[in-house]
């Protein structure tokens, strides 16, 4: 969920007349990793060479580990524990948060849509400006 939407949801929940002590928040619009990866492949590829090739997650994780131990150079190391132990379980759709209460108290949550290619392009542009992508 884009951060501006998440902020709006939090604000709506905090000021809801039906405020509850616990809400679950995630983008209620489900989408496949394959679709996200295809878009990212195109965005991060080049006109000359085309989209970046995609590889299986385990192979990518091995490459991350082989990239070096300098966390300033290999930014993924900062979240390596999460990637190794929790990412697949949480990102594959096995963990679905119950967002019913949040949707009752947040119109933004109800209207939230899937991430489109434009959002992904904005993320990639930001990550490039921050030095996370070359």
User: What pLDDT was estimated at residue 64?
Assistant: 93
| Token pair of 28 as six digits | 């209620």
Q: Which pLDDT score, from 0 to 100, does residue 57 have? A: 92
Instruction: Select, from the ranges 9-18, 63-72, 87-96, the one with the highest average predicted confidence (pLDDT).
Output: 9-18
pTM of this prediction exceeds 0.85: no
Asked whether 74 and 67 are in contact (CB, 8 A), the reply is yes
Neighbour count for residue 58 (Cβ, 10 Å): 9
Domain boundaries, the chain: 1-30+96-114, 31-95
Assign 25 a pLDDT band (cuts: 50, 70, 90): confident
């Amino acid at each position: 969920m884009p951060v501006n939407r998440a902020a709006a949801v939090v604000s709506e929940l905090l000021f809801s007349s039906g405020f509850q002590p616990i809400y679950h928040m995630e983008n209620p619009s489900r989408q496949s990793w394959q679709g996200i990866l295809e878009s990212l492949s195109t965005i991060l590829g080049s006109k000359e060479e085309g989209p970046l090739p995609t590889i299986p997650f385990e192979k990518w994780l091995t490459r991350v580990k082989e990239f070096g131990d300098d966390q300033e150079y290999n930014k993924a190391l900062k979240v390596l524990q999460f990637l190794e132990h929790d990412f697949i379980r949480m990102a594959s759709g096995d963990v679905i948060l119950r967002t019913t209460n949040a949707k009752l108290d947040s119109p933004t949550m109800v209207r939230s849509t899937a991430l489109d290619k434009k959002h992904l392009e904005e993320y990639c542009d930001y990550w490039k400006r921050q030095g996370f992508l070359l």
